[in-house]
Amino acid sequence: MTDSDAPVPEHPDNGRTRPTDLPQVRIPRQVHQAMVDLEAQLAQEPAAGQLWRLEFDGTVALVYLADLTDEHIVVVPVGEDVSYADDATVVVPADRSPLGFAIGIWTDLDLRLPRYVLDRKLGDLDVDVPDLTAEQPAEVLPTDVRYRYRQRLQEPLQELVDATERLADDDRGQQQPLSVLLRDQGVQPSQLRRAIDTRRARRAFQDQLYLPPTDPAVDVLAELADVDVDEVRRALPRPPQRLWVALHQLQWRLPTRRWAQDRDLPEVVARWRVAEEVGAGQFRRAGDTDTEPDWEQALTDFFRHTDA
């Protein structure tokens, strides 16, 4: 359980409300632009030597992009606390860092990942990074405080590796489908229609309701089925593998981002919604066949239609 999930004891003091003056804290323009400016992002061509944000299924990591092919990237974790730097860390001083504060590149922790986890380019890194293949691992013992920091830097990258491998394995068949869970628990379609909406209720019973794990509808389903929220999360169908990979490609991240901005939605939530709309649309058209739809075409049609 995370801190923000944990049940919080009530505050015993009903004293003052918040101070009237907001602290003046503004994110530097170039950082803000790199994150939200769609026009600027159109020109983001990945190349070695850049600082990138990786994202897949909501897991995020900041990395130095060391190398890339059409399918894969080689990345090195970037950390914000340079006081944990070791022999193999390249420190980028604040005045040369795209984030505006000093960052470290932990060069001996390089990792290979699918290219589709590239999310946003945060800037160019004009620093000399040694040849990773020749890089000797830093000698940091488990008793060293830097050891734990290295682990913390590796954790999100390892999560990305695991998530992308899980996607490649596609183990959806091993889970109890949502439709079976709902029927076993005696949930009636009419109940579901009232609690969410008709279209989504139908999709739930057809295992085509693609929901992010934090979506409020997950709680509604759990309450109706009278089961634990995690049981519903395990039963939720995943979007078709190739559609999901396609939606993570830079090519489709941008239109998804625009779609999200138009609807005041976070991009990760919008991606699930797009997957649901596009996925359900294709199944409706193709019927329940084993033929893999042309997802690229389906996405082109979807965004053309919604943009119009």
Partner 1 sequence: MSAFLELQQTGEIGEQTYTMLHDVAGGVVRTHNYPAPSGNEYWTKDEEWELVNEFLTGDRGLQRVITLFVKATDEHSLRNLAAAAIRNHLIDQFRNTDRGHLYQRLTDVIDDWDGLETFPTAAGPACRRVGAATDEIWSGTIRPLVMAAADVGDIRIERWRKAARRSPIADRESIARIIEAVLDQAEAAVLLSDLAEVMEARFALVRTPLVIELDDEPALEPSAADDTDREALTFTAAEEIFDQLSRKERILLAHYNDTLRELEPLLDVSKSHAGNLRNDLESKLKGMLASANDPEATLTELRTMAGTWTHECGISSHSTATD
Contacting residues toward partner 1, per CB under 8 A: 2-6, 8-9, 11-19, 22-29, 31-32, 35-36, 53, 55, 58, 60, 62, 80, 99-101, 122, 143, 212, 214, 264, 266-269
Choice between 157 and 201, CB closer to partner 1: 157
CA atoms within 13 A on the CB side of 291: 10
Contact assessment for residue 56 and residue 117, using Cβ atoms and an 8 Å cutoff: yes
Choice between 207 and 267, CB closer to partner 1: 267
State the minimum distance, in angstroms, from the CB of residue 189 to partner 1. Answer: 29
State the minimum distance, in angstroms, from the CB of residue 25 to partner 1. Answer: 4
Choice between 32 and 194, CB closer to partner 1: 32
State the minimum distance, in angstroms, from the CB of residue 203 to partner 1. Answer: 22
Choice between 24 and 69, CB closer to partner 1: 24
State the minimum distance, in angstroms, from the CB of residue 36 to partner 1. Answer: 6
Q: Give every CB contact of residue 84 below 8 A, 6+ residues apart in sequence.
A: 104, 145, 146, 149, 150
Choice between 68 and 122, CB closer to partner 1: 122
Choice between 93 and 130, CB closer to partner 1: 93
* Whole-number Å distance between alpha carbons of 236 and 275: 14
Specify which residues 106 forms β-bridges with: 89
Contact assessment for residue 239 and residue 273, using Cβ atoms and an 8 Å cutoff: no
* Whole-number Å distance between alpha carbons of 76 and 251: 23
Q: Which H/E stretch holds residue 106? A: strand 103-106
State the minimum distance, in angstroms, from the CB of residue 24 to partner 1. Answer: 8
* Whole-number Å distance between alpha carbons of 138 and 89: 8
Choice between 158 and 300, CB closer to partner 1: 158
Residue 171 in tokens: 């183990």
CA 191 to chain centroid, in Å, comes to 32
State the minimum distance, in angstroms, from the CB of residue 27 to partner 1. Answer: 5
Q: Whose structure tokens read 């400016």?
A: 37
Residue 76: is it exposed, middle or buried by C-beta count within 10 angstroms (0-12/13-18/19+)?
A: buried
State the minimum distance, in angstroms, from the CB of residue 124 to partner 1. Answer: 16
* Whole-number Å distance between alpha carbons of 103 and 83: 10
State the minimum distance, in angstroms, from the CB of residue 152 to partner 1. Answer: 10
Choice between 102 and 127, CB closer to partner 1: 102
Residue 277 in tokens: 């709309």
* Whole-number Å distance between alpha carbons of 233 and 185: 15
